């Protein structure tokens, strides 16, 4: 990369530090902490960064931290890891099993944390040697699973001055040493839609004197998703699916209230932004026809992660140069959510799927299961990949200013 033997430098760094980073991951794995309760994890990361001469800032709630590497001129690239565990019991029989009943790093965030720590330690070394062409901001984000930790980081100014952001997630469907990449949307949005309907109840013999609430609710249940599907681009795959309906208590009385609860899933960012207003106006028009009062509680989940194309190219270059030819493989958009999408609403960037499967393994356990584990050589691979990505992005952000004089040569002045 830029003529330097970065691979060799990373080899030397990992020869010295890889065992420590694996130990760091195992310590977090044995001591998992749930969303917004990651006090020990935050402390451990802060101590290690501090020992390397860095000055991290803990977020206002006391969990999660931000750490800037490098100073002076140049662009800023942010690298993000999430640090929280899940309320899932650990079912693995390994020496580093969770010691906290019912809590486990079943989504691999312990691995993400160890990788970002390793990348930070290496980049700090580069900065001290005057080799960092800008600044790198490490974001150790709490509460991805809640979700909402990304909003804490944003509220704390975590992205101010950042030109580009990158993140990664363990993927047990991809072999270790490879990374899954995709431009455009890579995860999906999922929001909650809660509707309460009300009106004067009465005897079922006289529906005309009431609003016939159960009939009106049934109309909303069928007409709202149908109308919605006619108002958005079908390619956005926006869908409203009900999960819970409740109204009435006896066959011959029309109730005076009822409710419907469902989820709205969406693969497309534009449609996701438009969804709440659209649901509101469609609901009002359907309900209006039957005279019922409606109350909509629309609960935002996370936006889809929409990878920016240039940033994906940088991830791809980093994978090929740091992990070897053919290390970047295509991946598909998942229907799962990931709060990294909040960052990409503010700055360009991209999210990668880091291979964690031991090659040749037929069936690697999936994330969010108590049996999930990784091939720990993914930690070294992740460090190489993130370091390569940060440096590629910093160099490419700088490039326009380096090339500008060539354009100015022909100007009138």
Name the site residues for Zn ion (rule: CB under 5 A). 107
Q: Output the smallest distance, CB 338 to Zn ion, in A.
A: 7
d(CA 325, CA 178): 10
Cα separation of 143 and 147, whole Å? 6
- C-alpha–C-alpha distance, residues 159 and 157, integer Å: 5
What do you get for the CA distance between the two ends of the chain, in Å? 36
Q: How far is the CB of 144 from Zn ion (least distance, A)?
A: 6
Whole-angstrom distance, CA of residue 175 vs CA of residue 187: 20
SS3 of residue 107 by DSSP: coil
Which is nearer to Zn ion, 134 or 149 (by Cβ)? 149
Q: Toward Zn ion, which CB reaches closer, 228 or 352? A: 352
Q: Is the Cβ of residue 48 or residue 353 nearer to Zn ion in the bound state? A: 353
Q: How far is the CB of 353 from Zn ion (least distance, A)?
A: 11
Go through 181-204 and write b for each residue having 16 or more CB atoms within 10 A of its CB, e for each that does not: bbbebbbbbbbebebbbbbebbee
Q: Which is nearer to Zn ion, 89 or 291 (CB)?
A: 89
- In angstroms, give the least distance from the CB of 71 to Zn ion: 32
Q: Quote the least distance from Cβ 354 to Zn ion, whole Å.
A: 11
- Shortest Å, Cβ 82 to Zn ion: 6
Residue number, 81 or 224, with CB nearest to Zn ion: 81
Rounded to whole angstroms, how far apart are CA atoms 129 and 121?
13
State how far the Cα of 40 lies from the Cα of 45, in Å rounded to an integer: 9
Q: Between residues 26 and 368, which has the closer beta carbon with respect to Zn ion?
A: 368
Please report how close the Cβ of residue 195 comes to Zn ion at its closest, in angstroms. 28
- The one-character DSSP state at 365 is P
Around Cβ 9, how many Cβ atoms within 10 Å?
A: 16
**Closest approach of Cβ 328 to Zn ion, in Å?**
21
| Cβ-closest position to Zn ion | 107
Nearer to Zn ion, 17 or 29 (CB): 29
**Residue with Cβ nearer Zn ion (107 or 190):** 107
Cα–Cα distance between 310 and 159 in angstroms, integer? 19
Using an 8 Å Cβ cutoff, are 90 and 98 in contact?
A: yes
Strands 239-247 and 189-198: unpaired
- DSSP conformational letter for 146: S
Strand-by-strand arrangement of the 189-198 sheet: 239-247, 257-266, 189-198, 293-299
Residue placing its CB nearer to Zn ion in the complex, 107 or 220? 107
Q: Which residue has the tokens 């016939």?
A: 212
In whole angstroms, the minimum distance from the beta carbon of 169 to Zn ion comes to 6
């Amino acid at each position: 990369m830029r003529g330097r033997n970065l691979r060799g430098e990373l080899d030397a760094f990992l020869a010295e530090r890889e065992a420590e980073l694996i130990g760091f991951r195992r310590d977090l794995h044995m001591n998992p902490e749930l969303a917004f309760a990651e006090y020990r994890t935050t402390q451990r990361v802060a101590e290690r960064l501090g020992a390397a001469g860095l000055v991290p800032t803990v977020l206002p709630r006391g969990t999660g931290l931000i750490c800037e590497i490098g100073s002076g001129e140049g662009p800023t690239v942010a690298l993000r890891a999430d640090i929280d565990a899940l309320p899932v019991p650990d079912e693995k029989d390994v020496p580093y099993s969770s010691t906290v009943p019912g809590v486990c790093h079943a989504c691999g965030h312990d691995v993400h944390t160890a990788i970002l720590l390793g990348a930070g330690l290496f980049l700090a070394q580069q900065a001290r040697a005057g080799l960092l062409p800008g600044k790198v901001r490490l974001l150790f984000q709490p509460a991805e699973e809640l979700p909402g930790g990304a909003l804490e980081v944003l509220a704390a100014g975590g992205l101010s001055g950042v030109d580009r952001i990158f993140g990664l997630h363990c993927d047990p469907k991809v072999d270790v040493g490879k990374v899954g990449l995709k431009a455009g949307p890579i995860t999906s949005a999922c929001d909650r839609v809660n509707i309460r309907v009300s009106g004067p109840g009465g005897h079922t013999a006289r529906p005309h004197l009431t609003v016939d609430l159960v009939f009106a609710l049934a109309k909303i249940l069928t007409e709202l998703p149908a109308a919605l599907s006619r108002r958005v681009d079908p390619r956005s795959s926006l869908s409203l699916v009900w999960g819970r309906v409740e109204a009435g208590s006896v066959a011959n009385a029309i109730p005076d209230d009822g409710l419907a609860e469902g989820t709205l899933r969406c693969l497309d960012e534009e449609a996701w932004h438009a969804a709440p207003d659209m649901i509101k106006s469609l609901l009002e028009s359907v309900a209006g026809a039957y005279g019922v009062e409606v109350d909509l509680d629309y609960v935002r989940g996370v936006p889809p992660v929409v990878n920016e194309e240039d940033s994906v190219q940088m991830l791809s270059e980093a994978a090929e140069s740091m992990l070897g030819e053919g290390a970047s493989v295509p991946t598909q958009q998942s229907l799962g959510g990931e709060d990294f999408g909040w960052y990409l609403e503010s700055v360009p960037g991209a999210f990668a799927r880091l291979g964690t499967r031991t090659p040749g393994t037929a069936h690697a356990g999936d994330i969010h299961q108590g049996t999930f584990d990784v091939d720990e050589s993914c930690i070294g691979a992740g460090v190489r990949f993130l370091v390569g990505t940060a440096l590629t992005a910093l160099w490419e952000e700088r490039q326009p200013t380096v090339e500008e004089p060539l354009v100015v040569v022909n100007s009138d002045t």
